[in-house]
């Protein structure tokens, strides 16, 4: 912590990477990236690079976990050993176990689990590169992968964090801001249902700051939500254009 920059926000009110307080990092979303999976998505959120794949509905393993009235949603959040500065052991850490749980619980309200009793749906998230805010980017990716797999959903889940850096409330903290900032509040949101499905926090905020932070994060979620819908549409535009080309070639 000795090489800590003196200020995380400069005199002009800009952040270390030149963003304004309420500005998202560049986000790139793509669906259908893993041919073998039933649904998949790739997310670049700032320097975060994350892959999500969905397999299922399929047979439940181990069998005794099977539920008579709905599908079992499983989720595994995992970081690649090379995703961070110092190599991370590939064995699941306590942090990864907790995040797998909260990500699963944040996706469950979105999925019509009751449509597929006695089955299991696996959501696998691999963080290829991490730079702060991986749980949010993972949720964005996982929701897209679920939608891409064609499993009926009530809404997409979009996620984004906000927090406090120096004395400013900012959107979408990157790694340095997360580590040196005063508070980080990741939020996942289903805009159509007005439903918050993930909320965590560490740091210190008073009541007023907390409300501002959550509202800012919700705004970020709405922006990401628009991009998610766009990414899903883009896949089908591409598919239909490919078909058109083929038809023309045949003629």
Partner 1 sequence: MASIVTRVKQKQIAELIANEKRADGRGLKEYREMKIEPGLIEKAEGSARVLLGKTEVVVGVKVETGEPFPDTPNDGVMTVNAELTPIASPEFEAGPPNEDSIELARIVDRGIRESKAINTEKLVIEPGKKVFVVFIDIYVLNHDGNLIDASALAAVSALINTKMANYEIKDGEVKIKPGYEQLPIRKHPITVTTAKIGDKLVVDPIGEEEQVMDARISFAIDDDGNICAIQKGGSGYFEPQQIMEAAKLAKDKAKELRKKLNW
Among 214, 216, 224, 231, binds partner 1 (CB under 8 A): 214
Q: Does 230 bind partner 1 (CB under 8 A)?
A: no
Q: Which residues contact 134 (CB under 8 A, 6 or more apart)?
A: 48, 50, 79, 127
Nearest-CA neighbor of 131 among 26, 22, 228? 26
Q: Does 84 bind partner 1 (CB under 8 A)?
A: no
Q: Does 198 bind partner 1 (CB under 8 A)?
A: yes
Q: Where does residue 228 fall: left (phi above 0), alpha (psi -120 to 50 degrees), or beta otherwise?
A: alpha
Distance CA 158, CA 107 (A): 10
Q: Measured from the CB of residue 233, what is the shortest distance to partner 1 in angstroms?
A: 25
Cβ proximity to partner 1, 199 vs 227, nearer residue: 199
Q: Measured from the CB of residue 11, what is the shortest distance to partner 1 in angstroms?
A: 28
Distances (CA, A) of 197 to 3, 6, 58: 36, 35, 25
Distance CA 50, CA 41 (A): 8
Q: Which residues contact 198 (CB under 8 A, 6 or more apart)?
A: 102, 103, 105, 106, 135, 139, 159, 186, 187, 188
Among 215, 226, 238, 240, binds partner 1 (CB under 8 A): 215
Cβ proximity to partner 1, 119 vs 234, nearer residue: 119
Q: Measured from the CB of residue 122, what is the shortest distance to partner 1 in angstroms?
A: 16
Q: Does 67 bind partner 1 (CB under 8 A)?
A: yes
Q: Does 95 bind partner 1 (CB under 8 A)?
A: yes
Cβ proximity to partner 1, 42 vs 225, nearer residue: 225
Cβ proximity to partner 1, 9 vs 201, nearer residue: 201
Nearest-CA neighbor of 156 among 169, 168, 170, 142? 142
Asked whether 45 and 37 are in contact (CB, 8 A), the reply is no
Q: Does 193 bind partner 1 (CB under 8 A)?
A: yes
Q: Does 195 bind partner 1 (CB under 8 A)?
A: yes
Q: What is the DSSP letter of 64?
A: G
Q: How many residues bind partner 1 (CB under 8 A)?
A: 35
Q: Which of residues 146-185 bind partner 1 (CB under 8 A)?
A: 185
Cβ proximity to partner 1, 1 vs 237, nearer residue: 1
Q: Does 14 bind partner 1 (CB under 8 A)?
A: no
Phi, psi of 167 (to 5 degrees): -115, 15
Q: Does 207 bind partner 1 (CB under 8 A)?
A: yes
Q: Which residues bind to partner 1, rule: CB under 8 A?
A: 1, 67-68, 94-95, 97-98, 100-102, 105, 108-109, 185, 190, 193-207, 210-211, 214-215, 218
């Amino acid at each position: 912590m000795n090489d800590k920059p003196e200020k995380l926000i400069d005199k002009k009110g800009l952040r270390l990477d030149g963003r304004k307080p309420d500005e998202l990092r560049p986000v790139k979303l793509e669906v259908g990236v893993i041919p073998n999976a039933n649904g998949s998505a790739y997310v670049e959120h700032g320097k975060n690079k994350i892959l999500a794949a969905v397999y299922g509905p399929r047979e439940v393993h181990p069998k005794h976990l099977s539920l008579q009235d709905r599908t079992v949603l499983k989720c595994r959040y995992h970081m690649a050993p090379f995703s961070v500065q110092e190599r991370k052991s590939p064995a699941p850490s306590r942090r990864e176990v907790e995040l797998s749980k909260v990500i699963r619980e944040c996706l469950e309200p979105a999925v019509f689990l009751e449509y597929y009793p006695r089955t299991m749906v696996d959501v696998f998230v691999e963080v290829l590169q991490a730079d702060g805010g991986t749980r949010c980017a993972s949720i964005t990716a996982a929701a897209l992968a679920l939608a891409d797999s064609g499993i009926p959903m009530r809404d997409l889940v979009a996620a984004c964090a906000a927090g406090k850096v120096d004395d400013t409330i900012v959107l979408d903290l990157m790694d340095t801001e997360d580590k040196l900032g005063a508070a980080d509040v990741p939020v996942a949101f289903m805009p159509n249902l007005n439903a918050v499905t993930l909320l965590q926090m560490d740091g210190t905020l008073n009541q007023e700051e907390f409300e501002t932070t959550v509202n800012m994060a919700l705004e970020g979620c709405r922006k990401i939500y628009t991009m998610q819908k766009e990414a899903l549409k883009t896949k089908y535009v591409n598919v239909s254009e490919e078909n058109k080309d083929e038809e023309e070639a045949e003629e």
